[in-house]
Amino acid sequence: MNPPEMKKSELVFVPAPARGHMVSTIQFAKLLLERDERISITVLVIKRPHPPNLDSYIEEFAASNSNIRFVHLCHVDPPPPELLKSAENFLSIHIEKHKSLVKDAISNHVVSGPSTKLAGLVVDLFSTPMIDVANELGVPSYVFFPSSAAFLGLLLYLPTRHAQLGTEFSISNPDSTIPVYANPVPSRVLPSFLFDKQNGGYSSMLHHGTRFKETRGFIINTFAELEPHAIESLESRKESAAIYTVGPLLNLELQEHSQSDQKVMKWLDDQPSSTVVFLCFGSLGGFEPPQLAEMATALERSGHRFLWSIQAPPLKDLRVKPAEYTNFSEILPEGFLERTQNRGLVCGWAPQVEVLAHEAVGGFVSHCGWNSILESLWNGVPIATWPIYAEQQSNAFELVKELELAVELTLDYRITSSDKLVMADAIEKAIRLLMDSGNPVRNRVKEVGETGRKALKDGGSSFLSAGRFIEDVLVVKK
């Protein structure tokens, strides 16, 4: 007689349909399955309301990681386009429209078999309506938080502040005392949605921060040694939700290179070690020609080797992907490409993970998305901060003022303030400081990066924290 099949504890993940959220969520799912065979995982895939879609990435990952089950939810009509004035509110409403589909998918695809026990739902910071689904099914919910512990603490602070003041932030507010930050926080470095009353950005994120308190725990893509003050602050809260620091969670698997990617990597191969400054600003990090001209002037004056990824600025209608620049000479100062051809390369999209891992790269001018920050730390590459959207301003503030892990270029630039130029003198100064071999930030970044690698290994802080989460999931609930 064959032994009875082991009944597995099933976790259902509901990530937001955004690449940065999906990548770290899947990496965490992969980590759990590698750690404990008693766990099985289903990822419910919500279709993006506008391009680019994530189908090819998910299909590629699913093909090589067949132990994670992906269930694609049916298409729903996205919210009205006028709600796009707040990306946070638009995405939140879009995800909420999937609540009944999530419950049906769990009932039909997850708990229908005798060998599966639903152990909990892991929701994204934008998918808090699925907490209701977990409650209806009688299982705990956890928040997977793809950004920093400090940003989580900021969102958890919102309900407390709102109960006292009853209003959104104003850019003219005095510095705020927020428990997860050791320093007073200037309003100018807070995320734009905190000022957005008219389009629902503030109320949307206030709602998520309020609902977070109903969950059993927070799984954060960070490590204890990176954000000690923020994590200590979160763990000292009166609420009972557990804190699990499980990062850095990165997709470091090398991808197939396109022809343009191959050109970039071949060029880097020909550069001396730690001599190249890499400028890259994410999928929405495009600039208009006047700002590009200031950047070009700074790069030329600095004398440093550079790899510059230039994207077209996003359109007002986020449903339409902007066309890529095809002729850089048309948008850059006359003669710039010719004068710098022996020490610089301008490209479109660049393979950021591979670039940051290349020994020629010595500095990174970045938009300070959290995944980009973790990738730079992992590779010991220091950052000069140039935030653009989402929570990137508060990320930049934390890096520079709280953690002393970056060079301040700007902390308060915003995609909505396209008339505000960052001038060439400021950019040049930051690049020179970033690439200065005597800058103490360089050594500190390398040390913290090594600490992050150790955190994931057996006995490391993130390894132990993930183990605590696994035990919490597997324990028999009365």
CB 426, CB 410: distance < 8 Å:
yes
The predicted pLDDT at position 67 comes to 87
**Residue 143's beta-bridge partner residues?**
123, 218
The predicted pLDDT at position 320 comes to 64
The predicted pLDDT at position 54 comes to 78
Give, for 25, the enclosing helix (H) or strand (E): helix 19-35
> Average pLDDT, stretch 347-358?
94
In sign, the C-alpha dihedral spanning 128, 165, 189, 179 is negative
**Token couple for 161:** 């502040």
Q: What percentage of the chain carries pLDDT values higher than 90?
A: 81
Confidence of residue 420 (pLDDT cuts 50, 70, 90): confident
CB 129, CB 95: distance < 8 Å:
yes
Confidence of residue 1 (pLDDT cuts 50, 70, 90): very low
| Closest residue by Cα to residue 384 from 363, 362, 413, 414 | 363
For residues 123 and 153, what is the distance between their CA atoms, to the nearest angstrom? 17
CB 419, CB 356: distance < 8 Å:
no
Domains in the chain, CATH or no CATH each: 8-251+452-474 (3.40.50.2000), 259-451 (3.40.50.2000)
The predicted pLDDT at position 55 comes to 78
Confidence of residue 112 (pLDDT cuts 50, 70, 90): low
Which has more pLDDT, 101 or 313? 101
Beta strand 361-366 pairing with 276-280 = parallel
The predicted pLDDT at position 5 comes to 61
Q: Could you report the per-residue pLDDT of 276-305, keeping only the tens digit for each?
A: 999 999 888 889 999 999 999 999 999 999
The one-letter amino acid at 277:
V
The predicted pLDDT at position 205 comes to 98
Confidence of residue 114 (pLDDT cuts 50, 70, 90): low
Neighbour-count burial for 49-85, b at 16+ CB within 10 Å, e otherwise: bbeeebeebbeebbeeeeebbbbebeeeebbeeebbe
Can you spell out the DSSP letters for 144-192? EE-S-HHHHHHHHHHHHHHHHH-S---TTSPPB--TT-SS-B-GGGS-G
What is the three-class DSSP state of 475?
coil
| Closest residue by Cα to residue 152 from 243, 236, 247 | 243
What is the phi/psi pair of residue 87, to 5°? -60, -35
Q: What residue ranges in 189-283 does DSSP mark as E strands?
A: 217-220, 242-245, 276-280
> Average pLDDT, stretch 55-80?
85
In sign, the C-alpha dihedral spanning 208, 213, 217, 219 is positive
User: Mean of the per-residue pLDDT values for the chain?
Assistant: 92
For residues 357 and 381, what is the distance between their CA atoms, to the nearest angstrom? 9
On the CB side of 8, CA atoms within 13 Å amount to: 18
The 10 Å Cβ neighbour count of residue 101 is 17
The predicted pLDDT at position 252 comes to 83
The predicted pLDDT at position 198 comes to 95
Say if residue 65's pLDDT is above 90.
no
Answer whether the bond into residue 248 is a cis peptide, omega within 30°: yes
Q: Which residues contact 327 (CB under 8 A, 6 or more apart)?
A: none
Q: Could you report the per-residue pLDDT of 138-189, keeping only the tens digit for each?
A: 999 999 999 999 999 999 999 999 999 999 999 999 999 999 999 999 999 9
- Number of residues that make up the chain: 478
For residues 303 and 306, what is the distance between their CA atoms, to the nearest angstrom? 9
Q: Name the least confident of 217-221, 349-353, 432-436.
A: 349-353
Q: Could you report the per-residue pLDDT of 453-468, keeping only the tens digit for each?
A: 999 999 999 999 999 9
| Closest residue by Cα to residue 103 from 68, 57, 139 | 139
The predicted pLDDT at position 324 comes to 80
Rounded to two decimals, what is the model's pTM? 0.95
The predicted pLDDT at position 110 comes to 82
The predicted pLDDT at position 463 comes to 98
Q: Name the least confident of 202-216, 240-254, 265-279, 438-452.
A: 240-254
The 10 Å Cβ neighbour count of residue 201 is 23
> Average pLDDT, stretch 356-371?
98
CB 98, CB 76: distance < 8 Å:
yes
| Closest residue by Cα to residue 415 from 304, 309, 282 | 282
For residues 213 and 128, what is the distance between their CA atoms, to the nearest angstrom? 10
Confidence of residue 476 (pLDDT cuts 50, 70, 90): low
Say if residue 308's pLDDT is above 80.
yes
The predicted pLDDT at position 478 comes to 35
448: left (phi over 0), alpha (psi -120 to 50) or beta: alpha
Say if residue 265's pLDDT is above 60.
yes
CB 394, CB 306: distance < 8 Å:
no
Confidence of residue 239 (pLDDT cuts 50, 70, 90): confident
Say if residue 2's pLDDT is above 70.
no
The predicted pLDDT at position 178 comes to 97
The predicted pLDDT at position 434 comes to 98
What is the phi/psi pair of residue 297, to 5°? -60, -45
